[in-house]
Amino acid sequence: MASDDDRHPAAQRYPSLLAFYRADPARLDSRERDVGLWWRTGKEGPMHRAAWVQETGELYLVRLGPASEGGGAVEVIAHAGDAEALERALRGWRERCGEPGSLQWLRLRAARLARRRVPAPKRQLALGGAASRMLV
């Protein structure tokens, strides 16, 4: 995806959208937020679509174009805990998307977010007395 030197070595990668969705059932039923369709490495380079999966918090790229040229490959570039964190980190994306070099801009902004899924904090449920608390 993009130029190989722009990719983060620890990013999760999948050969296709189908493989990406099959790898985590939570992705199948989750809502997604489109984060731009025409992310570009340069004036002539490959383009990418970016989207955020609400249930998993994953911000991913899918390379556009024929499979023989790398099209369809998916790369998870970050995790955002919620839509507000995503919007804060990517503020201004609508104005940048489609410009030459915009993919590098997106990667730099996405680096502000966590690379791995952050587990939800444990909640305590009070079931009746001080000694009867349960972690969920």
What pLDDT shows up at residue 50? 98
Q: pLDDT tens digits for 26-78?
A: 999 999 999 999 999 988 889 999 999 999 999 999 999 999 999 999 999 99
Upper half-sphere CA count for residue 16 (Cβ side, 13 Å): 6
Q: Which residues fall within 8 angstroms of residue 40, CB to CB, at 6 or more apart? A: 46, 47, 48, 98, 99, 100, 101, 102, 103
CA angle in degrees (0–180, nearest 5) for 7-8-12: 100
Task: Count how many domains the chain has.
Answer: 1
% of the chain surpassing 90 pLDDT: 69
Q: What pTM was computed for the model?
A: 0.77
* DSSP codes joined into one string, 34-81: E--S-EESSSSS-EEEEEEETTTTEEEEEE-S-GGGTTT-EEEEEE-S
Task: Classify residue 128 as left (phi > 0), alpha (psi -120 to 50) or beta.
Answer: left
- The identity of residue 16, as a single letter, is S
Residue 133 has pLDDT above 50, yes or no: no
Higher-confidence position of 36 and 112: 36
Mean pLDDT, the chain, integer: 83
Range of the domain at 32: 4-135
* pLDDT bucket at 124, cuts 50 / 70 / 90: very low
Q: What is the mean predicted confidence (pLDDT) over 18-23?
A: 96
